[in-house]
Chain A
Amino acid sequence: MVTVTTRNPADRLTEEQILLRDTVRQLAVERIAPRAAEIDRTSEFPEDIRQLLAQQDVLGLPFPVEFGGVGGDLLTVCLAIEEIAKACATSSLILIVQVLGSLPLTLAGTPEQQARFFPALASGRTLAAFGLTEPEAGSDVAAARTRAVRDGDGYVLNGTKRFITNGSVAGLITVFAVTDPEAPRHRRLSCFAVEVPTPGFRVERLEHKLGIRGSPTAELAFEDVRVPAANRIGAEGDGFSIAMATLDRSRPGVAAQAVGIAQGALDTAVAYARDRRQFNQRIGDFQMVAAMLADMDSQIEAARQLLYTACAEIEAGGPDIGRWSAMCKLVAGDTAMRVTTDAVQVLGGYGYIDEFPVERMMRDAKITQIYEGTQQVQRLVIARALLGRPAS
């Protein structure tokens, strides 16, 4: 397959980042890409890929060196996600969710909590999941109903979480539950590190999905699940702000996934347009096809550059990180959907069947417009940054 090379200016990526990206790219090309179609077809969680990512320290990327991690910054993590997603969106989600599920601990965990949980997460022995969404609380996070009631030296959790990525394979779930129903909307939730399996915890079912099929999306039931108070992350009532801060830092990962999916689709479309001949010429030499490819390439590069800038802005910790994070996911997710759809079009009938990966990529791309905040929520976040919250 032909790969369109991206020449990164040295002032943007460090030597380590380039080497790291190239290493993950080699892993993705040699070890992950050959598995991608099968993972999609069987809808089975790719345990072999998880072990590969663990063994090569990819899952350790977001964790500090002192806890056995690699200490990669946000951009470095996103470079790795992008390279994996180019080959297999499902596999990239293993890293994305390792970041997402552990971010509450990174942002609000005590040093003791980090020392307890990070080594197993950094080594990849334990996978993390992020337990926020509920059947009735999607975009409206504060509407969560799962309860956590104080009981002696711990809490008792009851409720249901839905659409929890890796919920069935995780060993540590950061769960958001209502500790004070009477408090103002944004002070009702608290965050808990729930180690599973544990009595009262059940995986109710796994969803059948349009894309990212090898990534288990679980409905989780909590029935009188006891959690020690030492596992509460942050203070009581901090849950909502922890969740929002988490999403601000995790959305670039989804943007990176989207950029990767789009690039993978473009690479396939370009290779096809070079090889496929109709009417005695390469189909890429037809202007209508050429223009599609040029647009796809330009849009991907625009999304990628916005993502890299957003990573730098978020890493610098400016006041505006919600806007950067929302913008990069919005642009990248829409780009992925458009580019993969066009890639299917370039391949015509071959694009619509599973002989080529673009139909899978098109199905996988859709989720990047939905999870970690729909594109509509992203626009809301950006608009609020511009306009301020509406007066209530």
Chain B
Amino acid sequence: MHIVVLTKPVPDPAAAAERLGPDHRLDRAASPAVVNANDEYALEAALKLVEASGGEITLLTMAPAGGADTMRKALAMGATRGIQVTDPVLAGSDVRSTAAVLAAALGELTFDLVLAGADTSDGGGGVVPAGIAALLRLPYLSNAARIEPDAGSGRVKVRRITPTGYDVLEAPMPALIVCTQALGEPRYPSLKGIMAARSKEIAARALADLGSDPSGLGGAASTTTVLETRRPPARGATTVVRGTPGEGAAAIVNFLATRRII
């Protein structure tokens, strides 16, 4: 089984140092980059599938040069190789452009499954994977809580979380699946994995390598533009109540009543 996992380097949310540059694009120098947390769940799901039935995992990312640093961790977790699409043209890409580029990169690969994280922590809306699937005419299965491929029949079953439970979906492979955290905690990279990651290949691809026409792609062709930014309104002062449990409870009830919530 060959699985492609889409990963994205994002500013470390824990560092809380994200900011926009003067061009209203993310200032990537302001914050240490990490693999998007939801992508690690997708990778973990892929690792479990490959451990169960053999195969390989290719990581695919679109990132500025230097984005390979974060990919090392994903390789250390057990992925086989990485592909990084990087091109100066791509800075400031919008959703449409990102989906088109990743679809073009996937077009060069053979795979059974593409796994993606639910969304990205740096403002991603979780819409790119659906765009990629539509461009490649791949079956698209999202919100997955369980993934069961069957190599024999060439089909995959997915439990898709719904508001009331789950649906069981079935589609032929190759297919694109959007993973949730319900698939299980990502592992820590083992130290042997880290040492082994050193010798794993991270292939760089420019747009020309993919045969993509740069004119419709990247920041220059973006369909969206930031008009202005502002700080969110500050919340009011915090009221702190110390006292007996009864006093605390009464304070909550009064507070909610004052605000007409109850």
Q: Determine direct contact between A and B, CB below 8 Å.
A: yes
Which chain A residues have a beta carbon within 8 Å of chain B's beta carbons?
Answer: 15-16, 19-20, 22-24, 26-27, 55-58, 60-61, 65, 70-72, 80
B192 touches A57 (CB 8 A): yes
Scoring B residues 59 to 89 as 1 if CB is less than 8 Å from chain A, else 0, what string do you get? Answer: 0000000000100110010000000000000
* Partner pick for A16 among B188, B190, B198, CB 8 A cutoff: B198
Residue in A15, A20, A26 whose beta carbon sits within 8 Å of that of B191 in the complex: A20
Identify whether the interface residues of B are mostly helix, strand, loop, or mixed: helix
Given the complex, which residues of A lie within 8 Å of B69, measured CB to CB? 15
Interface residues of chain A: helix, strand, loop or mixed (majority): helix
Nearest Cβ on chain B to A79's Cβ, whole angstroms: 11
Interface residues of B (CB under 8 A from A): 69, 72-73, 76, 188-195, 197-198
7 residue pairs bridging A and B, Cβ less than 8 Å apart: A19-B73, A20-B194, A55-B190, A56-B188, A58-B191, A61-B191, A71-B195
Nearest B residue to A15 by beta-carbon distance? B72
Partner of B189, one of A19, A65, A72: A19
**Chain A neighbourhood of B191, CB < 8 A:** 20, 23-24, 56-58, 60-61, 70, 72, 80
Cross-interface CB contact of A56 among B73, B190, B195, cutoff 8 Å = B190
Most chain A beta-carbon contacts within 10 A, residue among B76, B189, B194: B194
- Contact residues in B for A24 (Cβ distance below 8 Å): 191
CA distance A306 to B190 in the complex (A): 28
Q: Complex formed: what's the CA distance from A57 to B197 in Å?
A: 14
On whether the beta carbons of B72 and A57 are closer than 8 Å, the reply is: no
Q: Which residue of B lies closest to A57 (CB)?
A: B191
Task: Tell me the complex Cα distance, A12–B194, Å.
Answer: 18
B190 in contact with A19 (CB, 8 Å): no
A71 to B69 alpha-carbon distance, docked (Å): 22
B76 touching A19, Cβ below 8 Å: yes
Q: Give Cα A20–Cα B196 distance, bound, in whole angstroms.
A: 12
How far is it, in angstroms, between the C-alpha of A26 and the C-alpha of B197 when the chains are bound? 18
Q: A70-B195, A71-B195 are in contact. Are A23 and B188 (CB under 8 A)?
A: yes
Q: Which residue of A lies closest to B187 (CB)?
A: A56
CB-CB < 8 A to B189: which residues of A? 19, 23
Distance to closest chain A CB from B235 (angstroms): 19
Contacts of B190 in A (CB 8 A): 55-57
A72 CB contacts on chain B under 8 angstroms: 191, 195
| Cα distance A18–B19 in the bound complex, in angstroms | 25
Nearest residue, chain B, Cβ from A14: B198
Q: How far, in Å, is A63 (CB) from chain B's closest CB? A: 11
Q: Contacts A15-B69, A19-B72 given: A27-B188 contact, CB under 8 Å?
A: yes
